[in-house]
Structure 1
C-alpha cells in the first residue's frame, strides 16, 4: 500500500497540519482496526486517513488517531484528496462523494484548493455558569477576565468547546493543564477546546483573516494542533450567530502560529433558500496542501 505524509492547510512545506494518508486499492479490504491504530501511532501524526476508491467519483475514508478512530477529520481529508490528485484518482475542478463514519459528504477541487462539506452545525451546550466558566479558564491557564463571548460546545462533525478570548496576546498565553483538560473534555463529550481571538485588523486591505486560533485535544493524545478543519467549521457557525460571519462570503482563519506551523483555513457558510433553520445551513472548509513524503507500507 502507498502511504504519504502531507501538510494540509499549508501553502508551503512545513506549515499547516501534517497527516498520514494510506491509499488502498479498489479491491483491497481495510486492515483491522488494530493495524490502522498501530499505523497511526507509528506515523505519530494526530490523524492518519485510510482511503479506498469505490468508483471513479466516490471514495470511502476512515480516520485514525494514535489512540482511536474518529468520525471525521478536516485536515486529513484535505491531505487525502491532495494524495488522490497526486495518484491521478481525482482531477482539478471536479466534485466527488466521500463516505465517512459521520455520513456522506461532497469534496470538490477548485483551482488546486480542496473544499469539503461539514455536517449540519449543532450547538450542544453553552457555558454560562460562573463556576463552570471559572473551571474552564483555570484548566486553560487564563483568567475569566480574558474571556469575551460565552463559550459554547458546537459540532460540525466533531464537538469542540469554542472559547473566545479578548486579544491575541491572551490567546498566545494559554497554557492548559492537559490532564485536567482531558478530563473536562470527557465530561463535556468534546474532542477538546478550540480557542480564538478575533483579528483586530480583520477586513483591512492587508489583513483579511477573521481570527487567530489555537486547538487543544489531550483527550485524544493531542496537545496542540496546527490546523483543524472541523473546529473552524464550528467556529464559522459560532461567529455567524454572533454577527461576524456573512452568508456566501469566504472567511480566513489563521492557526498554528504558536507552533511555528502557520496554517490557513478557509470557510464559507451557505443557507438553503427559503429555510431559516440551522438545519438549512451548510459550511464548507477549504485549504491547500503540500506532499512531503511518499513511500510503500508493508503490512
Structure 2
C-alpha cells in the first residue's frame, strides 16, 4: 500500500464575500482516481460538490463532480471554482476548456472585475401540463405553473416572497428523482430569484446552483424580453449570477473567494 498527497482547495463560488455563495472542493489530479476513492473524498468533504479534473494531452481539462451522495452529471459552481484554481494556482490565463460527458465542452473566460464566465448549453425548460402529485403537494405554497428540463422541475411563482418563504416537503420531493426542484420568481432588485432543492441527489437545499441557470436564464430571458440578466439564488448563503442568453448557449459569470488550500493524504 502506498500513500500520496493530493492538493485540495475550498472555494466560495458566485460571491465576492467569504462565507457566502456555494462552497466547492477542488482536487486537481495528474491521473484519475477510482470512482470509489473520489466518492469517499467527496463524502468526507461533505460539501455540495467536490470537483476532480485531469488535463488531457490536448490541453482540455476533463472534469467530474461528486456530491456527498453520488456523481453528478453537471455542476456549475464547482466548474467555476475549478476555473478559479486553474487561473490562480496552475498557471493558466485567459481562456480554458473543460469537458464532461453530459454537457460536452465548457469554455471558460477570465473577465473584468474578478468575474469568470462559463459557456453552458442552453437547457431551456418546457411547460409541464400534468405534474406529479409529489411535486404539486411537495411545496408549501402552490406555484403558478410548472416546467421541466433534463435536470429539474421548475416551479414558477408570481412573488419573490413566495420563493423565499416556500417550505419543501423533502420526503415527497425525493420521490421525483432523478429530477430536482427549483423554485423561481421575478425580482425587483434582480431580474429573477430562485432556490434549489435536491434531497435525492445531494442534500436539502443547494446554496447556489450554476447548472440550473442554464435553464432559468433562457426561461426568464424569454419571459422578460431581455438577453442579459442578473440572478439571485436566495438561499441562506446566497449568491449572484450574471447571465447572458443566446440561441444555443447560456453564459454564466460569477466571482470566487478562496477559503482554504491544503492536502489530502490517501492510501491506495
- Tell whether the structures are fold-level matches, with TM greater than 0.5: yes
Provide the rounded CA distance (Å) in 1 between the counterparts of 2:166 and 2:120.
28
Change in 2 beyond 3 A, CA 1:245/1:33: farther
Unaligned runs of 5+ in 2: 1-5
**Cα-Cα RMSD:** 1.8
> What residue number does 1:9 align with?
14
Give the aligned partner of residue 161 of structure 2: 169
Could you tell me which residue of structure 2 aligns to residue 253 of structure 1?
Answer: 231
Instruction: Rate the CA distance shift 1:232–1:120 in 2: closer, same or farther, 3 A.
Output: closer
Q: TM-score, normalised by structure 1?
A: 0.81
- Name which of 189, 196, 200 aligns with 2:184: 196
Separation in structure 1 between the aligned mates of residue 225 and residue 13 of structure 2, nearest angstrom: 24
Whether the 8 Å CA contact 2:208–2:235 is kept in 1: the answer is no
What's the secondary structure of 1:161's corresponding residue? Answer: strand
Partner of 2:107: 106
Q: Does structure 1 retain, via aligned residues, the 8 Å contact 2:196–2:209? A: yes
> Between Structure 1 and Structure 2, which shows a larger proportion of helix residues?
1
Q: 1:246, CA displacement in angstroms? A: 2.1
Please give the per-residue CA displacement for 1:92-135, whole angstroms capped at 9, x wherever unaligned: xx221111122122111112211111123254x53223xx3764
Whether 1:178 and 2:170 are equivalent positions in the alignment is: yes
Q: Residue 56 and residue 110 in structure 1: after superposition, are their counterparts in 2 closer, same or farther (change >3 A)?
A: farther
C-alpha displacement of 1:71: 1.8
Q: Using the alignment, how far apart are the partners of 1:126 and 1:134 within structure 2?
A: 16
Whole-Å separation in 2 of the counterparts to 1:212 and 1:122: 16
How many Å apart are 1:218 and its aligned residue?
0.5
- Stretches of structure 1 lacking an aligned partner (at least 5 in a row): 202-206, 272-280
Equivalent pairs, count: 259
Q: Say whether 1:160 aligns with 2:138.
A: no
- Asked whether 1:267 is paired with 2:243, we answer yes
Q: Per the alignment, in what secondary structure is the counterpart of residue 151 of structure 1?
A: strand
2:25 aligned with 1:20:
yes
Q: d(CA) in 2 for partners of 1:122 and 1:164?
A: 14
Shift of 1:88: 3.4
Runs of 4+ displaced beyond 6 Å: none
